[in-house]
Structure 1
Amino acid sequence: MASTTTGIDSNDDFPITTILDYSHLYDYDEESSGMCRKSDVRQFAQHFTPPFYTIVFLLGFVGNILVVVIYALYKRLKNMTDVYLLNLAIADLLFLCTLPFWALDARFGWIFGNFVCKTVRGLYKINFFSCMLLLTCISIDRYIAIVKAVKARVSKQKIFLHSKLISLVVWVTAVLLSLPDFRYSSQNEGQQSCSTNYPGNILKVAGLAVQITVGFFLPFAVMLFCYSTIIWKLLQAKNFQKHRAIKLIGTVVSVFVLSQLPYNSMMIVKVMDAANITITDCETLKNVDIATEITQSVAFLHSCLNPFLYAFLGVRFRQDLLRIMKDIGCVGQRHLREASRPQQTIWKRSSVHSETDTTGTLSL
């Protein structure tokens, strides 16, 4: 968790740490060192973070593992959407697997050693960046499939091949952006904490700025352009149901903004504090740390919701999910037959959409 353990003395170095860093929770003697005592922040994190991360992990793991199982058992990768959704589910799963480490870190301090510290922080960042970049790719995919429907139909095979290359580029980019965490992360001497300690404030601020840009502003800007253009296209169309599609688009964008904006706003506050030393009051610092803890946890909920926003709203995904439930005895044959009846989608006017189940999220 990105947080700032900041001295009250203006001559002190004002360090800024990166996401999921709990070193700020350790107590500092305000009288002997001029530092802000944060035992109450640590106490809050000990009680709030572990159960919240456990819930996020369990819900997100079940949803994303179902997506992977459905692709493995019932689907072949037939289009860009399939490629991106499978990669997104894998990235979410790997991202969620780092949360138990941070839950234990918040409760007991870092007890896993230096090597695991570097590995977990690096893997966390790889999957964080890949998730956000894949959400960006999904938005562009929808834009092409709906706004550029004729072009998408003509070059369908070429676009599908490109999607595999784009997914590879996403993962390589995420690895490159995560290299500083592999390089500078370590278990702090004298403390049971794992953090990324950049050499110098300029590099620290730059690293956090990249996180904010790639983790929020880039996907949000692409979503805003692509989905607003899609809505405009829907409003021009006739003879098909468009209101549900617009509602689904609004849900996707709203969930992203409501889950990510508060946390990234706190990150901007911390960048400004690191660059200009804007926060010097101890109580304000503690309130910022607690607010960051809460907003970060809310941001992680997006990994739980991704399977429902981007996969299970699709008719075929729902049918395949029911088939899995039937195979394990959770639903009967009658329910499966009812769900398998032909269902009309909002994209009747374009065969490319019925073939690709355009993103599985704009279907009825």
Structure 2
Amino acid sequence: MINMTDTLATWLSTVTPTDELETNSGSGSGYEDYDDTMCDKSMVRRFRTFYEPPLYLLIVVLGFAGNLLVLWIYKHFKNRLKTMTDVYLLNLALADLFFLCTLPLWAVDAMKGWYFGTFLCKTTSALYKINLFSSMFLLTCISVDRYISIVETTKAQNSKELRLAWSKVVCLGVWLLSIILSIPEFLFARSKEDAEGNRYCTMVYWDNENNKTKILVLALQICMGFCIPLVIMIYCYSVIIKTLLKAKNFEKHKALRVILAVVTVFILSQLPYNSMLVVEVTQAANTTITNCAEAQSFDIATQVMKSIAYMHSCLNPFLYAFIGVRFRKDLKRLYKKYGCTTSQSGKYGAPPRPSIMSDTDSTMAFSL
């Protein structure tokens, strides 16, 4: 990864002045770079200025369109919330929308610096972490519910009402746990000003010398926000695949494509950034990066990987909702209801079909 970004850093140095010292804002990530007082980071901020705002704008537009469409469907078809996954999908859309609201502030920070004060710095950073953890936990819950619906079909049918009631309790627990895990942002995020008068929102820990608090915070994010959800998802979907391969009269290939897409997108979007966080933990513990050019390349690579991770918020509606038969049929019904077509075959008042995650019909769980 360092070799890939060295070329980019070299190119940026040819178009960016490097005669001033600057501390890079973490855009909420809270990392502190190698020897900020001795290493010129103006090229990193220059890169952020041109890279992050347009990308964040794209993520916000696509994310709001997809997640608001999910909420719109749930608003018009209130009887949809009859399975655990439907409840999780609704909360996932809300979590993604809350997160998307923070991106415009980080885009402004990338262009002009952080001029919104310490309170908003703490609030925005905490909101980002709350929705990071809640999204990962909800995706985990969806994989577990799919596991129960496909692998434990009889158990799922017999406990449908109980599981639906528990889904609301689980969602409440997810939000509470996410808030607890975001406490470090409330404690350590603050608006700072460097020697050149540039303000930025970053994490300032109490023990900057030994970095124990920083290491703990980053390790907690990596474990709770990626490793544990990934292990659970891989286990659940692996068992589901084995079950589907043994099933008869079922469109296995479509279901397997959906599972492959879900797992692949999750890994490709989250693994690179979390790998950079692991390097950051190592750096905080052992100071493995001692060269200014390497530090600059690492900062740029982290920004790129972080933005890729952010894209998951605009992909969730398409991965977990719109690939389902029910959502697509509901979209057609709404399309017809609002006069876009004269066809009456899918009237708004027509009886609802089973949910895409119906506990009583496992063949619908991964149907395209």
- TM score, norm. by length of structure 2: 0.85
The whole-number CA distance in structure 1 between the counterparts of 2:354 and 2:77 is: 21
Unaligned runs of 5+ residues in structure 2 are: 1-22
Partner of 2:28: 20
Pick one of 233, 239, 253 that aligns with 2:243.
233
Partner of 1:252: 262
Partner of 1:208: 218
8 Å Cα contact 2:95/2:135 also seen in 1: yes
**Does the 8 Å CA contact 2:336/2:342 hold for their aligned counterparts?**
yes
Distance 2:344 2:227 in 1: 43
Query: In the alignment, which residue of structure 2 is the partner of 1:193?
Result: 200
Distance 2:224 2:87 in 1: 21
**Who is 2:13 aligned against?**
none
Q: Does 1:351 align with 2:354?
A: no
1:128 to 124, 129, 132: 132
Q: Per the alignment, in what secondary structure is the counterpart of residue 333 of structure 1? A: coil
Matching of residue 55 in structure 1 with residue 58 in structure 2: yes
Give the one of 268, 281, 304 matched to 2:314. Answer: 304
| Structure 1 residue 352: Cα displacement | 3.7
Q: CA deviation at 1:189?
A: 3.9
Distance in 1 (CA, whole Å) between partners of 2:32 and 2:130 is: 23
**How far apart are residue 60 of structure 1 and its match?**
0.4
Q: Does the 8 Å CA contact 1:240/1:347 hold for their aligned counterparts?
A: no
- Unpaired runs of 5+ residues, structure 1, are 1-14
CA gap of 1:235–1:345, structure 2 versus 1, over 3 A, is: farther
Conservation of the 8 A alpha-carbon contact between 2:24 and 2:45: no
Q: What root-mean-square deviation, in Å, do the aligned CA atoms of Structure 1 and Structure 2 show?
A: 2.8
Cα deviations across residues 224-263 of structure 1 (Å, max 9, x unaligned)?
0000000000111112211110111001000101111111
Which of 72, 86, 92 aligns to 1:69? It is: 72
The answer to whether the Cα contact below 8 Å between 1:17 and 1:197 also exists between their aligned partners in 2 is: no
Residue 93 of structure 2 is matched in structure 1 by: 89
Matches within 5 A, 1:213-224: 213-224=223-234
Deviations 1:74-115 (A, max 9, x none): 133111011100000000000111010101101100011111
In structure 2, the residue matched to 1:147 is 151
- SS of the residue corresponding to residue 240 of structure 1 reads coil
Structure 2 Cα separation of the partners of residues 93 and 285 of structure 1: 33
Distance 1:344 1:135, change over 3 A: closer
* Paired amino acid for 1:267: L
Question: Structure 1 residues 18, 157: CA separation in 2 closer, same or farther (over 3 Å shift)?
Answer: farther
Letter paired with 2:28: L
Offset of residue 335 of structure 1? 8.8
Q: Look up the match of 1:334.
A: 343
Distance 1:335 1:52, change over 3 A: farther
Q: Conserved in 2, the CA contact under 8 Å of 1:23 and 1:195?
A: yes
Q: Deviations over 1:128-170 (max 9, x none)?
A: 1100110010010000110001001011111111111001000
In structure 2, do the counterparts of structure 1 residues 208 and 312 end up closer, same or farther at CA, with 3 Å as the change threshold? same
Q: For residue 303 of structure 2, what is the amino acid of its counterpart?
A: E
Paired letter, 1:192: R
CA–CA separation in structure 2 for the residues paired with 1:155 and 1:257: 32
Counterpart contact for 1:235–1:242, Cα < 8 Å? yes
- Does the 8 Å contact 1:16/1:274 carry over to 2? no
Note the C-alpha offset of 1:63. 0.3
- Mark the CA change 1:335 to 1:46 in structure 2 (over 3 Å): closer, same or farther: farther
1:346–1:167 Cα change, 3 Å? closer
Q: Secondary structure at the match of 2:343?
A: helix
Q: Which amino acid aligns with 1:321?
A: L
Which residue of the partner structure matches residue 100 of structure 1? 104
How far residue 327 of structure 1 moved from its aligned partner, in angstroms, is: 4.0
Q: How far apart in 2 are the matches of 1:195 and 1:106?
A: 13
Q: Distance in 1 between matches of 2:306 and 2:107?
A: 13
Deviates more, 1:59-68 or 1:213-222: 213-222
Q: Residues 277, 54 of structure 1: CA spacing in aligned structure 2 closer, same or farther, 3 A cutoff?
A: same
- Which deviates the most, 309-318 or 183-192? 183-192
Identity of aligned residues (%): 50
SS of residue in 2 equivalent to 1:143: helix
